[in-house]
Amino acid sequence: MELLHAFTVLITIFVGILGKVCAEADFTQWHPPGPGDSRGPCPALNSLANHGILPRNGRGMTIPILIKGISQGLNVGNDLTIPVGTVGLLASDSLLKLSFDLDDLSKHDELIEHDASLSREDIYFGDNTRFNSEIWQSVVDFFRHDERVNTTAAARARFNRVKVQSGRNPEFTYSAKNMIISYTETAQYLSVFGNPLTGNPRVDWVRTFFEEERLPYNEGWRPPKMTTNLATVTAMTLELILAGGEVLPEGLEVTENLVGKILAGKPIEGIIGNPPIINRIL
Ligand code: HEM
């Protein structure tokens, strides 16, 4: 009897959690951050905070808060949020808090933040956190005449950022880990504003996301019905690599296992170092 009771309690808790996770987010309450609110280099977490789907002040991001906000807001799976969120926790000033503030994520290189971002400057030039319209425009130039961002344009725009920054930043770093993380970021915006299998988001939706840190709900966007997960992001990363023509470090095979390990901040034997293309550029 006691066992049955315990089982019922567990199921009730599970259904309660599930109900909360599945409940729809309210996308209509967007406000720009106020004074004292924390924002960081990730346009997705910033946008979710601007909508109040994550805490508006951008502080105290725990794994359960991230799971709920990211799944309701963008339909991104826990197999991505948990490892990336855990690496985010490592950026926090106090590990004991088991949470981070969005600006903690600006810590460079060892964790997630890297050079050659799509919409931020490299740390060498000062501000690697705030949106930079000139840099973002150099990305938009690759698809500004199109209605949708196709994989080839997105891949070329990303790789162009690597080439430009490696030429102008004397302290440019671009390890294999940085490279894969950067690819997964492009895969993520193609997935959540387009389709996790085929990408192809509307250009205006992507621009609203980066330029205003707002989810383009008023313009007709809804979270995709299909979840963006580790498998879909890995497949799209491979497609982007092929489309952009970047040479991978010898022996680097981009598998779900490898991408999962990189996102979880685990050491990757044999791939740490600069991809060969950068050695040619420098
Ligand atoms: C716990 C979850 C997440 C964490 C801790 C996180 C963290 C970060 C960090 C630190 C960066 C900066 C990388 C850089 O230097 O460019 C970044 C960039 C980015 N993130 Fe997130 N992120 C998370 C979830 C997501 C999700 C769900 C999306 C879905 C669209 C996303 C999309 C992006 C994009 C597109 C960029 C590239 C920005 C740019 O290059 O300018 N992130 N993220």
Predicted confidence (pLDDT) per residue in 171-196, tens digit = 999 999 999 999 999 999 999 999 99
Ligand 1 centroid, distance to 209 Cα (angstroms): 12
Ligand 1 centroid, distance to 21 Cα (angstroms): 21
Rounded percentage of the chain residues whose pLDDT exceeds 70: 87
Ligand 1 centroid, distance to 43 Cα (angstroms): 6
User: What is residue 268's predicted lDDT score, i.e. its pLDDT?
Assistant: 79
Decide whether any atom of ligand 1 lies within 6 Å of the 85 Cβ: yes
For 74-94, the pLDDT digits (tens) are: 999 999 999 999 999 999 988
**Cβ atoms of residues 181 and 173 within 8 Å:** no
Decide whether any atom of ligand 1 lies within 6 Å of the 44 Cβ: yes
Closest C-alpha to ligand 1, atom 31: 44
User: What is residue 270's predicted lDDT score, i.e. its pLDDT?
Assistant: 62
Decide whether any atom of ligand 1 lies within 6 Å of the 165 Cβ: no
User: What is residue 93's predicted lDDT score, i.e. its pLDDT?
Assistant: 84
Mean pLDDT value across the chain? 89
pTM metric for this prediction: 0.91
Decide whether any atom of ligand 1 lies within 6 Å of the 45 Cβ: yes
How many angstroms separate the CA atoms of 14 and 192, rounded?
27
Q: What is the chain's length?
A: 282
Closest CA to 213 of 125, 128, 119: 119
How many angstroms separate the CA atoms of 142 and 195, rounded?
20
For 3-56, the pLDDT digits (tens) are: 334 433 443 344 344 444 456 899 999 999 999 999 999 999 999 999 999 999
Ligand 1 centroid, distance to 250 Cα (angstroms): 27
Closest C-alpha to ligand 1, atom 42: 44
Domains of the chain: 37-281 (1.10.489.10)
Q: Phi then psi for 26, rounded to 5 degrees? A: -95, 110
User: What is residue 248's predicted lDDT score, i.e. its pLDDT?
Assistant: 86
Decide whether any atom of ligand 1 lies within 6 Å of the 41 Cβ: yes
